[in-house]
Amino acid sequence: MNTLASDPAKSGQQESSKPLGKGLLDPVRRYGEYVLGGALAIGMLVSIWAAFLGTPTDAVQGDVQRIMYFHVPMALLAFFAFFVVFVASIVYLLRRDERWDWLARASAEVGVVYTTMVLICGSIWGKAYWGTWWDGEPILTTTLILWFIYVAYLLLRFYSGRTESGARNAAVLGIIGFVDVPIVHFAVTWWRGLHPTGYVLNGATPDTPASVFLALLLAMATFTLLYAFLLLQLYRLERYTTEAERLRAQVEYGDDSAS
């Protein structure tokens, strides 16, 4: 079978089994995850506090505007997650090192989760402010297309198994799919719609209180930590799954290359 596991030289198995920076990075490996998890828990609490109590109520939108404090950071980090898929896919196609494939797969999953949250929360905000759950305006439509592209990416990964051809096809989709990210970002300026344009991030409103920027920055930091934490877990999951499949192949078929 043409699996990543069946060709360790090509798939980078030998490289992936090598510990990188052993000794020097040991404390980071051992305690880094706990520090990250602790910082994330604190960040979540502080961000919720800042969004609910640390910022003034919007004069036009009212309380529902506070959805922005996680809607905007999640959207930006979803773009970043797909950018990581884009870069990791290019490097995978150039080097055929499976660790880049694991990274692309992990980042795509986090990106899809973030985009799902963005669509759900944006829809709730739309119902409260526009009076409709969904409007076929450009940024909503292009974001939905983005979601479909990366759901298709994950389905491709799932149904093609851990084969080299599956990884290659997914890498191509990960590169082509990224084309939609700038389209989503510029949709509000290219095709004017109902969606707010550059509400805070572009500095379009000089009267915006500093606490609003601070709350956004806090939420941005929290969701970045969450992205890093999820990426770490999913990358490790990919590594363990690949190792388990190799050992299983070794046991069932006596495949020496799996060891």
Nearer to other proteins, 95 or 127 (CB): 127
- Is 133 a binder of other proteins (CB under 8 A)? no
C-alpha to C-alpha distance for 127 and 189, rounded to whole angstroms: 22
- And the tokens for 130? 């526009």
Nearer to other proteins, 139 or 175 (CB): 139
Q: Which of 36, 76, 117, 144 binds other proteins (CB under 8 A)?
A: 117
Q: How many residues bind other proteins (CB under 8 A)?
A: 34
Contact characters 188-227, other proteins, x per CB under 8 A? --------------------------------------x-
Task: Give least dist CB 30 to other proteins, A.
Answer: 17
Q: Provide the binding-site residues for other proteins, judged by CB under 8 A.
A: 44, 48, 61-64, 66-67, 70, 113, 116-117, 120-121, 124-125, 127-129, 226, 230, 233-234, 236-237, 240-241, 243-244, 247-248, 250-251, 259
